[in-house]
Structure 1
Amino acid sequence: MVVSLTLLTLGVLTALTAPRLLARADWAEREPVVALWVWQCVVASVLISFGLSMTLSAAAAWQAVRGHVFAPAPQAVVEAYALAAHGPWSAVLAVLLACGGLWSAAMLTREIRRARARGRRRRAELLVRAPLLPGEEPGREPLVLLEGERPDAWWLPGTTPQLVVTTAALHRLKGRQLDAVLAHEQGHARARHDWLLHCSAALATGFPQVPVFAAFRDEMHRLVELAADDVASRRFGRLTIALALVELNEDRGVFGPSPAPDAQLPQRVNRLLAAAPRLTAGRRLRLTATAALVPVVPLMVAFVPALVAFVPALRGLR
């Protein structure tokens, strides 16, 4: 029970402190891909902590669960967790955490279903506005040109992602700006950013009072755009993609004195124009490796008692 409570405490502390620590990081905008990885590792650590706490609490409360969890383990390992000395709260804790896990799965399922419904609706609207030519199949064309007075370009995720560009965008964008916009949208498609958005939205919707999940959703929306901007800027230059963003959005009031529709766009343009240098390869590697170790911490907490008890038992067998 002590290990279970330790894991629960570790998950709660990570959920409370990680958003504050990451908010102070001055490198996230310079390395959005690394920042995406760090956030995923932090959230994975929280979920692993709660999952292992639930498993050990259930093993302490019910003999049937204990038999399955510790079936291949020597008796010394089982005794190291002191499962027999559990209190009445172990069953309550296990049930609460199990309900949290089921609720998370339900929220993710609902988010995926809603996203698929939105995708089907948008593709149906697209077919109405841009009918198929003879010989074309629905959803097979990677690029769709749409008649429209508003300059726009967006990505439709799915089994075969599609890039949609309006004719107004073709008239507005100059030189290689259109290529830069297409590279931006292709960056979303290749990295499957839609799955990150779905998972973060499901967790934030299911647990709105948990700071790490709300911050995870907000940062995913921001960082995936920065990462896609970097994909385009590496191929066509920062100035090209910055000017393309301005051309596509200047008529929407985004760059006015009170930019309400999308306050992130001016920040994205300023970031591209500032051209802050990237972190060194060594620092990127250290950040990536450190983040990968974060989910390992709850695993170590859970398995250290077993290892400590198993090694002497193994020596006794010799």
Structure 2
Amino acid sequence: MITAVVLAGYAALMGAAVPPLLARAHWAHRAPTAAVFAWQGLMVTFVVTAALSVHHLVLGEHHVHERLFGLLTFCGLATSAPEGRAPLTIGSALAIAAPMLVVLLPAGWLIRCIWRARRARVRQLDMLVLAGEPAHGYEATIVDYDVPAVYCLSGRSSRVVVTRGALDILSEDQLRAVLEHERAHIVGRHHLLHVLVEAFSRAFPRLPLARHAKEQTYLLLEMIADDRALRWHSREALATAMCEVAAGRAPEAALGAGGSGVLIRLRRVLTPHPRPHPAIWPAVVAAAGTAPLLPLLLACVP
């Protein structure tokens, strides 16, 4: 029971205490890619720890280490029962089902979110076939709509879409800057990370980690795209374009240049910060890799 309490406390730490601290971390906006990796590590850690905690609670301390081997066998991490120990029984299988539900819940939502996003993307692509026309020289599709908006549809048939209103109001430099922002989303496959955090937030809707991970990941991905656009375009061009298209809403399953946290991003674009410390990436990778291993080590110690 002590191990179960410790694991539950660790899960609460990862799911409720750490997310607000990471959301307020100043280094995250200077190293958005590392910060996205940190949020993914937190989500994995929470699922692993919650599953192990449930496993300990169901079996009790005196059976848990023997049955943990059964859990690992069930997951494909071990191949046979240790010498002198009984194979898995129906009762043990039922005990394994409880932690597996913790894992299958976000996995099920992930499948559903992928299916919904794909259906919405196909619907938008079909609409573009009927209503869109190619923008020669921009590698984009023009939609006859007065509200300025620029967005992209990622995936196998990726497409950058520009409304007629955006073409009328943006200068050449501004348009190319915002197009580069959208191509960064496509190249980085940011729609996959959107689906991941959406599935996690649906699986654990009241969890602070789910709320913060979704909000911050959306914002950080926009910052990553901003940084790519700034490699070839001026800060003034990108910032002005962001303001002009901020009112335009991207359709479902699309990533828009207005995006989330426009005011925060504008401040960041117009007020350059010092480069992140070289130690940030190794520290984040080490922390994100170690955090989900700690509960496994704790659960496996006899």
Same fold (TM over 0.5): yes
Post-superposition shift, 1:71?
Answer: 5.1
SS of corresponding position for 2:206: coil
Q: Kindly, what percent of the aligned residue pairs are identical?
A: 29
Q: 2:170 aligns with which of 173, 191, 194?
A: 173
Moved more, 185-194 or 146-155: 146-155
State the one-letter code of the partner of 1:234: R
1:48-67 alignment, distance < 5 Å: 48-53=48-53, 60=64, 65=70
Contact 1:142 1:160 survives alignment (8 Å) = no
TM-score relative to the length of structure 1: 0.75
Alpha-carbon distance in 2 for matches of 1:47, 1:280: 30
* Alignment-derived partner of residue 147 in structure 1: 144
Contact 2:139 2:160 survives alignment (8 Å) = yes
1:294 equivalent to 2:291? Answer yes
* Alignment-derived partner of residue 197 in structure 1: 194
Please identify which structure carries the higher helix content.
1
TM-score relative to the length of structure 2: 0.78
Post-superposition shift, 1:43?
Answer: 0.9
Post-superposition shift, 1:280?
Answer: 2.3
1:186 equivalent to 2:188? Answer no
- 1:96/1:118 CA distance change after superposition, 3 Å: same
State the one-letter code of the partner of 2:117: A
Moved more, 171-180 or 35-44: 171-180
Contact 1:54 1:94 survives alignment (8 Å) = no
Q: 2:246 aligns with which of 222, 237, 249?
A: 249
- 1:48/1:184 CA distance change after superposition, 3 Å: same
Post-superposition shift, 1:18?
Answer: 1.5
Post-superposition shift, 1:144?
Answer: 1.5
State the one-letter code of the partner of 1:155: C
State the one-letter code of the partner of 1:50: A
* Alignment-derived partner of residue 115 in structure 2: 113
Post-superposition shift, 1:129?
Answer: 0.7
- Give CA deviations for 1:112-141 in whole Å, capped at 9, x if unaligned: 121112112211221221268xxxxxxxx9
Post-superposition shift, 1:93?
Answer: 6.7
Alpha-carbon distance in 1 for matches of 2:172, 2:293: 48
SS of corresponding position for 1:281: coil
Post-superposition shift, 1:250?
Answer: 6.6
Post-superposition shift, 1:10?
Answer: 2.1
- 1:9/1:142 CA distance change after superposition, 3 Å: farther
- Give CA deviations for 1:214-239 in whole Å, capped at 9, x if unaligned: 21111111111111111111221322
State the one-letter code of the partner of 1:225: E
- 1:93/1:225 CA distance change after superposition, 3 Å: farther
Post-superposition shift, 1:167?
Answer: 2.9
* Alignment-derived partner of residue 18 in structure 2: 18
Cα RMSD (Å): 3.6
Post-superposition shift, 1:196?
Answer: 1.1
Post-superposition shift, 1:272?
Answer: 0.8
* Alignment-derived partner of residue 122 in structure 1: 124
| Larger gyration radius, structure 1 or structure 2 | 1
Alpha-carbon distance in 2 for matches of 1:247, 1:46: 40
Post-superposition shift, 1:62?
Answer: 6.8
- 1:95/1:280 CA distance change after superposition, 3 Å: same
- 1:44/1:272 CA distance change after superposition, 3 Å: same
SS of corresponding position for 1:227: helix
Alpha-carbon distance in 2 for matches of 1:67, 1:4: 17
Report how many aligned residue pairs link the two structures. 281
- 1:299/1:235 CA distance change after superposition, 3 Å: farther
1:133-282 alignment, distance < 5 Å: 143-249=140-246, 264-282=261-279
* Alignment-derived partner of residue 103 in structure 1: 105
Contact 1:142 1:161 survives alignment (8 Å) = no
State the one-letter code of the partner of 2:119: A
- 1:113/1:71 CA distance change after superposition, 3 Å: closer
Contact 1:153 1:165 survives alignment (8 Å) = yes
- 1:107/1:130 CA distance change after superposition, 3 Å: same
Contact 2:52 2:99 survives alignment (8 Å) = no
Alpha-carbon distance in 1 for matches of 2:72, 2:226: 52
Structure 1 residues without counterparts, runs of 5 or longer: 80-87, 133-140, 253-260, 306-318
Contact 1:35 1:223 survives alignment (8 Å) = yes
- 1:145/1:263 CA distance change after superposition, 3 Å: closer
